Structure 1
Amino acid sequence: MPDRGTRIDAHVKVLDDRVVARAKARGLDGIVYAPHFRRLPDVRERAEQFSDDDLLVVPAREVFTGDWRNRRHLLALGLSDPIPDFITFEGAMAELDRQDAAILVPHPAFATVSLTRPEIDAHGARIDAIETYNAKLLAHQNRRAGDIADDLDLPAFGSSYAHLPWTTGEAWTDFEGDLTTEADVVEAFKTATPRRVVHRSDAGHHLAGAVEFAHLAYENTWKRLDRMLLSGEDPTNPHGVFYEGRFDDVAVY
Structure 2
Amino acid sequence: MSDVSDGVASRVDCHTKVLNEAVIERATEAGLDAIVYAPHFRRLPEIREIAARYSTEELLVIPAREVFTGTWTDRKHVLALGLEEPVPDFISLEAAMAEFDRQDATVLVPHPEFATVSLTAADLYRYEGTIDSIEIFNPKHLPHHNRQARELATELEYPPFTSSYAHLPRSIGSAYTVFERAIETEQDLLDAFDDGVSRRVVYKNGLRRWRTTANELLHLGYENTWEKADRLFLSGTEPTHPDHIAYDGRFDDAAVY
TM exceeds 0.5?
yes
Q: Which residue of 1 aligns with 2:75?
A: 71
Decide which of 151, 155, 158 is 2:155's aligned counterpart. 151
Which residue identity is paired with 1:87? I
How far did residue 3 of structure 1 move?
Answer: 4.2
- For residues 153 and 90 of structure 2, the distance between their equivalents in structure 1, rounded to whole angstroms, comes to 26
- For residues 29 and 3 of structure 1, the distance between their equivalents in structure 2, rounded to whole angstroms, comes to 15
Which residue identity is paired with 2:177? T
How far did residue 124 of structure 1 move?
Answer: 1.4
Q: Which residue of 2 aligns with 1:92?
A: 96
Which residue identity is paired with 1:83? V
Aligned residues with identical type, % of pairs: 54
Q: Which residue of 2 aligns with 1:197?
A: 201
Decide which of 181, 184, 188 is 1:180's aligned counterpart. 184
Decide which of 128, 150, 153 is 1:124's aligned counterpart. 128
- Residue 31 (structure 2) pairs with residue 27 (structure 1): yes
Decide which of 82, 85, 96 is 2:86's aligned counterpart. 82
Unpaired segments of 5 or more residues in structure 1?
none
Equivalent residues in 2 for 1:207-222, closer than 5 Å? 207-222=211-226
Unpaired segments of 5 or more residues in structure 2?
1-5
Q: So what's the TM-score if we normalise by structure 1?
A: 0.97
How far did residue 122 of structure 1 move?
Answer: 1.8
Which residue identity is paired with 1:76? A
Q: Which residue of 2 aligns with 1:243?
A: 247
Which residue identity is paired with 2:162? G
- For residues 129 and 244 of structure 2, the distance between their equivalents in structure 1, rounded to whole angstroms, comes to 31
How far did residue 23 of structure 1 move?
Answer: 0.4
- Matched positions, count: 252
Deviations 1:173-218 (A, max 9, x none): 1000111000110111112111001101131122112111121111
Which residue identity is paired with 1:62? E
How far did residue 246 of structure 1 move?
Answer: 0.6
Q: So what's the TM-score if we normalise by structure 2?
A: 0.96
Contact 1:3 1:178 in 2 (8 A): no
How far did residue 230 of structure 1 move?
Answer: 3.2
Q: Which residue of 2 aligns with 1:138?
A: 142
- For residues 53 and 202 of structure 1, the distance between their equivalents in structure 2, rounded to whole angstroms, comes to 32
- For residues 230 and 77 of structure 1, the distance between their equivalents in structure 2, rounded to whole angstroms, comes to 25
Q: Considering only aligned residues, what root-mean-square deviation do their CA atoms show, in Å?
A: 1.1
- For residues 237 and 158 of structure 1, the distance between their equivalents in structure 2, rounded to whole angstroms, comes to 28
Which residue identity is paired with 2:247? Y
> SS of the counterpart of 2:140?
coil
Contact 1:71 1:113 in 2 (8 A): yes
> SS of the counterpart of 2:74?
coil
- Residue 58 (structure 2) pairs with residue 58 (structure 1): no
Deviations 1:209-228 (A, max 9, x none): 21111211111001111113
Deviations 1:159-186 (A, max 9, x none): 0000001101100010001110001101
